[in-house]
Amino acid sequence: MKDLTQFVNCKILRDHKIIREDLWVRNGQVVDPEKVFFDEKIKANIIVDCQDHLIAPGFIEVQINGGMGFDFSYHDNTEEGIDAVAKSLLSHGVTSFCPTVVTSPKEIYHQILPKIKRRKGDRNGATILGVHAEGPFINKDKKGAHPENCILEHDGSLSTLEKTYGSMQNIKIITLAPEFPDSCKLIKQLTNNDIVVSLGHSTADLAQGEDAVNCGATFITHLFNAMLPFHHRDPGLVGLLTSKNIPKDKIVHFGIIADGIHTHPAALRIAYKVHPEGLVLVTDAISALGLHEGKYKIGQLDIDIRDGKAYVAGTNTLCGSIATMIECVKFFMEATACGPEFAIDAASFHPAKLLGIENTKGTLSFGADADFILLNDNFEIDSTWIAGQKVWMNQDINH
């Protein structure tokens, strides 16, 4: 029989509420203590005193380009980079993530994508849920930090994407611009293959966005960034947050970078007030995450980190953040005055729901994977756990 662990002296975020209750874990999953008491009539053989900390679901990062000096879109040292970032993410409270590959030459995709395989997390790093391919089927007019010479138009066929990427086996999310012909045809094919379609780096108007959502798109890549600005006569992709022309039971999720740089606090408040259930916190972190100011890479482009911001080298074009997920959660709480329940959900349950894994990830419901973090009263991460095992501990906090 597997060890039965009881986490005591704690609060738990469960079903969007913070409650005072013990957490029971066995075989890497959260278990119902009533069944243990009444059916099995046994007690826990491992007791963990949580020192009155909050137990919350581990964060899920669906857009991160790299970190620790490594860029996922650069073909050298792919596996080493994935391993280094996966391990460093544990200290940020991230227990699962989607490594993001930005617009790149075809040969780069063919080299990199087969190397970024899905895998379960442990003390060596966070779980890999699949690649987020951000491009190359985007609009050159909203390229941001994506190299224009690598941007492509699709013809609505899945075979075109397969030729470009080489293999789509490891891809979970694709960001594309929906304004091109036959986008709906392509979106339907992708969603039928269990790939999440995200709309971004786009000049699409609201009607084009609505068509894409009705064909299966469920996500918007970094809301407000690399899209048409909100206009009262045609709000563009931003208008999807309040559209009446999509099914009422369909949630359009949207990523938002709450790093204090990419999105103004007032814009964060607008998104939160208008469509809270779709809000997904992302970092869009780049290779300089965890490093000092200097020169780095994002895909094929050189970047500068100066004054705490990341720019395409020699320009004032922002190109991703260097913020951690816990920093984004804290900043979002401060900017919106939301409670910790919502801010944590936006970094855990909401991305899990986007990916269709909300029964096992991003939640502490019975039967879910025991991926969670312990937070102290200062909202500092005390420790990170995957499958009920401690995979990281904050040495700066007295235990």
Enumerate the known binding-site residues for Zn(2+). Answer: 134, 201, 222
Contact 155, 183 (CB under 8 A): no
Instruction: Give the annotated binding-site residues for substrate.
Output: 145, 225-226, 233, 262, 318-320
284 is catalytic: yes
Residues 6+ away with beta carbon under 8 Å from 20: 10, 11, 12
d(CA 95, CA 383): 11
Instruction: Give the annotated binding-site residues.
Output: 134, 145, 201, 222, 225-226, 233, 262, 318-320
Contact 288, 310 (CB under 8 A): yes
- Three-state SS for 143-190 is CCCCCHHHCCCCCCCHHHHHHHHCCCCCEEEEEECCCCCCHHHHHHHH
Element (H, E) at 106: helix 106-112
d(CA 384, CA 53): 12
d(CA 53, CA 9): 8
Element (H, E) at 326: helix 325-336
Contact 341, 16 (CB under 8 A): yes
The C-alpha angle 253, 255, 261, rounded to 5 degrees, equals 150
Axis crossing angle, helix 325-336 with helix 265-274, rounded to the nearest 10: 80
Marked catalytic residue, from 71, 205, 284, 382? 284
Q: Give the pair of three-digit tokens for residue 334.
A: 């401060």
What are the φ and ψ backbone dihedral angles of 133, each rounded to 5 degrees? Answer: -90, 100
Residues belonging to the active site: 284
